[in-house]
């Protein structure tokens, strides 16, 4: 069974357990001994099933059961055992007795233990959902106190004499106060084994916390004596490397009403009045210079080069690498187009709203010396104005291409959730993922391609004699390529989509391609057998946490939300392993700025296909991903969920190189 299924099963069993104990207690109160006895039996079986489901889940990793093993199960087992010992015999006797003596089942000695077990089981569910991972003594104590208080309250309501009530109440109160103190009074910012200072203070975090991160390795970082560099010094060059050209763009952010291909109007935040913004293209080795101006986006705007390993000062993270550009302001970005491939850019200020409203565009860098022949389409897919829009079209793009023409489709998911793509009518290859070419990608036919939020896939094929159709989520035709006889592939661009029949047919049952098994292995600069200088584990979950100082039902990392999640501190040259665990019910497309990561394993199984270099990897519920990267791009970087609404609810942190500081103090809100 998959971890995801096990988590769902465990949840089901936990609810059943709590419901059965409580119902047994209620049935006893209602003088229904037979029903109560039957429910008691169900509760016992459910409790045992719960022990089994937790142990089974433990097989997926300690992260999935930590709070269950340390708090939830002990509480359930203790309360269940007490209920069995105290209420069990009386319940059975009453069930066999005649009507007259059935009142005995209503006694506190039966009802209180049964309900108590129900409260304990319910407390476990609360622990899992409100606090999640990791459980700490404070919340455990608090929960214990709440369950105990409920037991005492029930008992008191049922009888006037509760033996030892004062002592028990006092003990409960002490536990509650102690628990609350541990939870709510911030003690000296305790650092986790692998963490450091809170992310909000990356300026100092990068230096002050370094000794923590290093102490595990038995060395202390002489950062204070070493040189420090402000992130604002880590900028791109003013001139291109020899042989490169300068590619200049000016993008002006402003509000505008955008007209989609169907004629529908959507009010948007735009670059240059269009959504997506102007396509930025370059040849490998060029210097890209983009002047960003803000006309009237009142919350401010920046440009972040998603997946592109630019110098940190060009990364466009407000409050960390620059201030957001206010209306009337500007900022010039410069970087060398060193990586060829398909990328995109977007604002990083209030990015959830900003990107959704249209502040994004594409960045495509072609390798030097390769003239583009044939059809090369860059296709950012966005949910916009309630429709799935490809580029600026809410209708299928129809293109003619002569059979035999090489075709490349560059798919970019600019949404918060994954999309599923299918290509019908032609065999094809998935030649690049997140801008990086795959090794020996095989021919695909009836395959579903799940593309993570923020991710890119490049598909390549030779135009067949018949039509080829790219479809999104098995319902929206995005591109229809139709064979032309003229050989002039640009001539037939037509908005008259209805005239071309879809070649798609039914695609919903096409199996999903497993990228970790696609293509052929090739040597990589490091593998899971290497020694890692840093090892960070990120457990993703939901829970109550402070997000930018406000209590929220946040998307958490190791139980905390931005900016309280400890910064990952690295030193230039370090080989770093990142383990990302998803304990929750949502998919988290995990994204690291400034570095491509090499996937080492997913759910403990290593990649057997082409090496996978990603900047965004989709960590689905129950999954555990291990990825690695070389810390070779000094700076201060965001590390966050690219479901930007999750990032907004706390799911982001910083990766800081030792010695790099920032003059900006804005609590970066994503
Ligand atoms: Cu495309 Cu910080 O993200
Ligand atoms: Cu997420």
Between the CA of 327 and the centroid of ligand 2 the distance, in Å, is 30
Q: Which residue has the tokens 């080069």?
A: 305
Between the CA of 520 and the centroid of ligand 2 the distance, in Å, is 30
Measured from the CA of 652, which atom of ligand 1 is nearest? 2
One-letter-per-residue 3-state SS of 424-492? ECCCEEEEEECCEECCCCCCECCCEEEECCCCEEEEEEECCCCCEEEEECCCEEEEEEEECCCCCCCCC
Residue 646 Cβ inside 6 Å of ligand 1? The answer reads no
Between the CA of 639 and the centroid of ligand 2 the distance, in Å, is 12
Q: What is the pLDDT of residue 634?
A: 97
Q: What is the pLDDT of residue 196?
A: 40
Tell me the average pLDDT across 40-50.
Answer: 97
Q: What is the pLDDT of residues 338-362, one digit of tens each?
A: 999 999 999 999 999 999 999 999 9
> Of 106-115, 208-217, 376-385, 472-481, where does mean pLDDT reach its minimum?
208-217
Reply yes or no on whether the pLDDT at 668 is more than 80: no
Between the CA of 668 and the centroid of ligand 1 the distance, in Å, is 13
List beta partners, residue 268.
Answer: 256
Between the CA of 588 and the centroid of ligand 1 the distance, in Å, is 13
Tell me the average pLDDT across 61-85.
Answer: 94
Residue 334 Cβ inside 6 Å of ligand 1? The answer reads no
Phi, psi of 521 (to 5 degrees): -60, 155
User: Is the CB of residue 124 less than 8 Å from the CB of residue 131?
Assistant: no
User: Is the CB of residue 649 less than 8 Å from the CB of residue 641?
Assistant: no
- DSSP character for 318? B
Measured from the CA of 638, which atom of ligand 1 is nearest? 2
Residue 618, H or E segment = strand 616-619
Reply yes or no on whether the pLDDT at 456 is more than 90: yes
Q: What is the pLDDT of residue 496?
A: 45
Closest CA to 19 of 5, 35, 39: 39
Between the CA of 586 and the centroid of ligand 2 the distance, in Å, is 7
- Which ligand sits nearest to residue 349's alpha carbon? 1
Stronger pLDDT, 188 or 398, i.e. the higher one: 398
Q: What is the pLDDT of residue 501?
A: 53
Between the CA of 292 and the centroid of ligand 1 the distance, in Å, is 17
Between the CA of 641 and the centroid of ligand 2 the distance, in Å, is 5
Tell me the average pLDDT across 130-145.
Answer: 88
- Which ligand sits nearest to residue 585's alpha carbon? 2
Q: What is the pLDDT of residue 500?
A: 53
Return d(Cα 520, Cα 513) in angstroms, integer. Answer: 14
- Which ligand sits nearest to residue 412's alpha carbon? 1
Closest CA to 346 of 657, 632, 616, 548: 616
Q: Is 44 helix (H, G, I), strand (E, B) or coil?
A: helix
Q: How far is CA 50 from the centre of its chain?
A: 28
Measured from the CA of 344, which atom of ligand 1 is nearest? 1
Measured from the CA of 616, which atom of ligand 1 is nearest? 1
- DSSP character for 537? E
Tell me the average pLDDT across 574-595.
Answer: 97
Q: What is the pLDDT of residue 486?
A: 53
Label residue 97 by pLDDT band (50, 70, 90): confident
Label residue 504 by pLDDT band (50, 70, 90): low
% of the chain residues with pLDDT over 70? 90
Residue 254 Cβ inside 6 Å of ligand 1? The answer reads no
Which of 143-147, 214-218, 440-444 is the most confident on average? 440-444
Measured from the CA of 306, which atom of ligand 1 is nearest? 1
Between the CA of 181 and the centroid of ligand 2 the distance, in Å, is 30
Residue 670 Cβ inside 6 Å of ligand 1? The answer reads no
Residue 108 Cβ inside 6 Å of ligand 1? The answer reads no
Q: Which residue's alpha carbon is nearest to atom 3 within ligand 1?
A: 306
- Which ligand sits nearest to residue 646's alpha carbon? 2
Q: What is the pLDDT of residue 495?
A: 42
Which of 143-147, 185-189, 651-655 is the most confident on average? 651-655
Q: What is the pLDDT of residues 358-407, one digit of tens each?
A: 999 999 999 988 776 799 999 999 999 889 999 999 999 999 999 999 99
Tell me the average pLDDT across 403-420.
Answer: 97
Q: What is the pLDDT of residue 459?
A: 98
Return d(Cα 168, Cα 233) in angstroms, integer. Answer: 62
Measured from the CA of 670, which atom of ligand 1 is nearest? 2
Q: Which residue's alpha carbon is nearest to atom 1 within ligand 1?
A: 306
User: Is the CB of residue 607 less than 8 Å from the CB of residue 579?
Assistant: no
Residue 455 Cβ inside 6 Å of ligand 1? The answer reads no
Residue 346 Cβ inside 6 Å of ligand 1? The answer reads yes
How confident is the prediction for the chain on average, in pLDDT? Answer: 89
Between the CA of 345 and the centroid of ligand 1 the distance, in Å, is 8
Measured from the CA of 355, which atom of ligand 1 is nearest? 1
User: Is the CB of residue 142 less than 8 Å from the CB of residue 130?
Assistant: no
Between the CA of 653 and the centroid of ligand 1 the distance, in Å, is 12
Return d(Cα 229, Cα 238) in angstroms, integer. Answer: 19
Supply the pTM of this predicted model: 0.89
User: Is the CB of residue 624 less than 8 Å from the CB of residue 617?
Assistant: no
Please give the C-alpha separations between residue 427 and each of 361, 460, 463, in angstroms, as whole numbers.
29, 9, 10
- Which ligand sits nearest to residue 308's alpha carbon? 1
- Which ligand sits nearest to residue 648's alpha carbon? 2
Integer-rounded Cα radius of gyration of the chain:
29
Tell me the average pLDDT across 255-260.
Answer: 95
Return d(Cα 537, Cα 517) in angstroms, integer. Answer: 24
> Of 165-179, 219-233, 558-572, where does mean pLDDT reach its minimum?
219-233
Q: What is the pLDDT of residue 214?
A: 32
Q: What is the pLDDT of residues 505-550, one digit of tens each?
A: 789 999 999 999 999 999 999 999 999 999 999 999 999 888 888 8
Label residue 670 by pLDDT band (50, 70, 90): low
Q: What is the pLDDT of residue 667?
A: 53
């Amino acid at each position: 069974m998959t971890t995801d299924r096990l988590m769902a099963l465990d949840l089901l069993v936990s609810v059943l357990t709590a419901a059965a104990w409580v119902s047994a207690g209620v049935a006893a109160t209602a003088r229904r001994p037979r029903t109560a006895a039957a429910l008691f039996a169900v509760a016992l079986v459910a409790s045992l099933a719960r022990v089994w489901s937790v142990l089974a889940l433990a097989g997926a990793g300690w992260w999935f059961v930590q709070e269950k093993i340390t708090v939830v199960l002990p509480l359930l087992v203790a309360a269940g055992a007490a209920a069995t010992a105290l209420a069990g015999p009386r319940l059975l006797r009453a069930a066999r007795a005649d009507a007259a003596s059935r009142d005995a089942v209503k006694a506190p000695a039966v009802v209180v233990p049964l309900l108590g077990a129900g409260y304990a089981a319910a407390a476990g569910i609360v622990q899992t959902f409100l606090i999640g991972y990791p459980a700490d003594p404070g919340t455990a104590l608090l929960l214990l106190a709440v369950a105990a208080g409920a037991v005492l309250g029930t008992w008191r309501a049922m009888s006037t004499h509760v033996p030892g009530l004062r002592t028990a109440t006092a003990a409960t109160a002490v536990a509650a106060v102690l628990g609350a103190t541990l939870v709510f009074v911030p003690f000296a910012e305790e650092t986790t084994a692998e963490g450091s200072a809170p992310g909000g203070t990356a300026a100092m975090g990068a230096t002050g916390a370094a000794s923590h991160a290093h102490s595990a390795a038995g060395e202390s970082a002489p950062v204070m004596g070493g040189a420090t560099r402000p992130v604002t010094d880590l900028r791109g060059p003013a001139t291109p490397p020899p042989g490169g050209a300068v590619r200049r763009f000016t993008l002006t952010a402003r509000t505008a009403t955008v007209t989609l291909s169907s004629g529908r109007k959507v009010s948007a935040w735009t670059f240059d009045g269009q959504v997506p913004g102007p396509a930025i293209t370059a040849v490998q080795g060029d210097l890209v210079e983009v002047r960003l101006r803000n006309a009237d986006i009142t919350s401010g705007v920046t440009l972040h080069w998603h997946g592109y390993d630019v110098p940190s000062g060009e990364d466009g993270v407000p409050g960390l690498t620059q201030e957001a550009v206010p209306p009337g302001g500007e900022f010039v970005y410069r970087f060398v187009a060193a990586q060829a491939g398909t990328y995109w850019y977007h604002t990083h200020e209030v990015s959830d709203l900003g990107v959704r409203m249209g502040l994004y565009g594409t960045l495509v860098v072609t390798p030097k010396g390769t003239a583009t022949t044939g059809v090369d389409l860059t296709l950012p897919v966005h949910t916009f104005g309630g429709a799935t829009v490809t580029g600026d079209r809410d209708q299928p793009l129809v293109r003619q291409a002569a059979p035999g023409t090489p075709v490349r489709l560059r798919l970019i998911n600019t949404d918060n959730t994954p999309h599923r793509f299918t290509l019908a009518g032609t065999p094809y290859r998935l030649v690049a993922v997140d801008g990086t070419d795959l090794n020996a990608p095989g021919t695909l036919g009836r395959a579903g391609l799940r593309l993570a939020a923020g991710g890119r896939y490049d598909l390549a094929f030779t135009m067949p004699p018949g039509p080829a159709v790219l479809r999104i989520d098995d319902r929206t035709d995005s591109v229809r390529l139709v064979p032309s006889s003229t050989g002039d592939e640009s001539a037939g661009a037509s908005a008259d989509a209805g005239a071309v029949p879809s070649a798609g047919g039914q695609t919903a049952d096409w199996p999903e391609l497993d990228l970790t098994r696609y293509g052929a292995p090739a040597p990589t600069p490091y593998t899971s057998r290497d020694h890692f200088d840093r090892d960070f584990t990120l457990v993703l979950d939901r829970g109550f946490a402070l997000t930018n100082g406000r209590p929220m039902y946040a998307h958490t990392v190791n139980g905390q939300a931005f900016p309280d999640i400890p910064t990952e501190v690295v030193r230039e040259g370090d080989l770093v392993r990142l383990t990302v665990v998803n304990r929750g019910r949502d998919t988290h497309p995990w994204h690291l700025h400034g570095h491509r990561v090499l996937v080492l394993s997913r759910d403990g199984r290593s990649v057997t296909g082409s090496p996978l270099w990603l900047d965004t990897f989709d960590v689905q519920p129950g999954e555990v991903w291990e990825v690695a990267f070389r810390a070779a791009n000094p700076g201060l970087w965001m590390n966050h969920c690219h479901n930007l609404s999750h990032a907004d609810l706390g799911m982001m942190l910083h990766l800081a190189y030792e010695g790099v500081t920032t003059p900006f103090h804005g609590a970066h809100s994503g």
